[in-house]
Amino acid sequence: MIINGNTGVGSFLYNISKIRERMDTAIRQISSGKRVTRPSDDPSGMSNIMNLKKLTDQGQQYIRNIDQSLTFMHMTDSVLQHLDNLIIEAKSLAMEAASSTVSSDARQAIAEEIDSIKNEILSLSNTKILGKYIFSGTKTLTKPFEDTGGTVVYQGNTDSVQIQMGKETPVSINLTGDQVFQNDDDIFDVMSDLSNALKSNDSDGIANSLDRLETSLNQVLRYRTVIGKRINLVDNTKQRLEEFNLIAAGEISNLEDADIAEAITNFMKEQIALDASLGAGGRIFTQSLLDYLG
């Protein structure tokens, strides 16, 4: 078998180019920090990465939804707390006025305070957050309560505002005005009736209002509990989502990130191979018998 000068050339060049290709891959990994930059680098790994990224993207969206809902619910709760305080104040005024030693003039004065509390409650009931009324159900651009010559009428609807916080059923985040202010007893009526009783010096009427104020207080309390529970539920959901995202991010990193140390080692290995090959090639191809004749 005669090995002539050309035998090695083809495979020599081919092998050199393969070394350079491997060096190129190593450099790409080092500079991008990623093991998988193209689908063909690892097709099934790529699928997994895409799926995980989709899940984390979605998780983050749900978290954003939750954050906004929490703002809404916390504000609702704060309104309810304010309402609570107002009713307590009204109750304390009513108790004071119920005493038989109070003069009718004094009762007149108290009646005015009750009126002003009623207006504050009306104001509260028409609270807006981010440009929408919080107690109107889904008729968020319509004022929930309108004072039509003495009687307060509810103009919202009874639909719930539902926010998607995951793939499960959506969570209702609102309370409707008819629930909070009018469910067991109509707070506005209670206030009007109390004011009238005070103005007409009606002791029985005043006593009756005390019971009704108690009912109203419990009503508000009940809905504060509802909101409180919802806030807890939503907080837990958020926590679960955040934990999942953390794990998923770790997994994505595992699949996607290059092992820099390994890539650098590979690069250096190939560098050495390249040097050696080029050096050897340089020597072999230059000699033949013709160098030595004549």
Q: Which residues contact 78 (CB under 8 A, 6 or more apart)?
A: none
> Residue 79 is which amino acid?
V
Q: Minimal distance in Å, beta carbon 50 to another protein?
A: 5
Q: Which of 24, 33, 43, 200 binds another protein (CB under 8 A)?
A: 43
Does position 169 bind another protein by CB under 8 A? no
Does position 162 bind another protein by CB under 8 A? yes
Q: Which of 108, 126, 157, 277 binds another protein (CB under 8 A)?
A: 157
Q: Which of 20, 24, 31, 50 binds another protein (CB under 8 A)?
A: 50
Sites for another protein among residues 137-156 (CB under 8 A): 137-141
Q: How many residues form the binding site for another protein (CB under 8 A)?
A: 57
Q: How far is CA 168 from CA 105, 163, 164, 171, 232, in A?
A: 60, 11, 8, 9, 17
Query: Based on CB atoms, which residue is closest to another protein, 131 or 150?
Result: 131
Q: Minimal distance in Å, beta carbon 258 to another protein?
A: 12
Sites for another protein among residues 64-83 (CB under 8 A): 64-65, 68-69
Can you tell me the distance from the alpha carbon of 146 to that of 150, in angstroms, rounded to the nearest whole number?
Answer: 10
Q: How far is CA 178 from CA 132, 163, 181, 237, 268, in A?
A: 17, 21, 6, 29, 75
DSSP-based three-state secondary structure for 171: strand
Can you tell me the distance from the alpha carbon of 244 to that of 261, in angstroms, rounded to the nearest whole number?
Answer: 29
Q: Which of 167, 279, 283, 286 binds another protein (CB under 8 A)?
A: 167
Selection from 199, 116, 192, 208 nearest residue 153 by Cα: 192
Angle between helix axes 187-199 and 104-125 (nearest 10 degrees) is: 160
DSSP-based three-state secondary structure for 18: helix
Sites for another protein among residues 178-237 (CB under 8 A): none
Q: Minimal distance in Å, beta carbon 17 to another protein?
A: 9
Q: What are phi and psi of 210, to 5 degrees?
A: -55, -45
Q: Which of 126, 127, 155, 164 binds another protein (CB under 8 A)?
A: 164
Query: Based on CB atoms, which residue is closest to another protein, 165 or 206?
Result: 165
Q: Which residues contact 165 (CB under 8 A, 6 or more apart)?
A: 62, 65, 66, 69, 171, 234, 237, 238
Burial 65-75 (b: 16+ CB within 10 A, else e): bbeebbebbee
Query: Based on CB atoms, which residue is closest to another protein, 34 or 82?
Result: 34
Q: Minimal distance in Å, beta carbon 101 to another protein?
A: 50
Q: Which residues contact 191 (CB under 8 A, 6 or more apart)?
A: 90, 114, 115, 117, 118, 121
Q: What x/- string results for residues 242 through 281 when contact with another protein is judged by CB under 8 A?
A: --------------x-------------------------
Does position 128 bind another protein by CB under 8 A? no
3-state helix, strand, coil in the chain (%, to 5): 70, 5, 25
Question: Which region, judged by CB under 8 A, interacts with another protein, from 114-122, 157-165, 183-191, 221-229?
Answer: 157-165
Q: Which positions lie near another protein, rule CB under 8 A?
A: 1-7, 10-11, 14, 34, 36-44, 46-47, 49-51, 54, 57-58, 61-62, 64-65, 68-69, 130-132, 136-141, 157, 159, 161-164, 167, 170, 174, 256, 288-290, 293
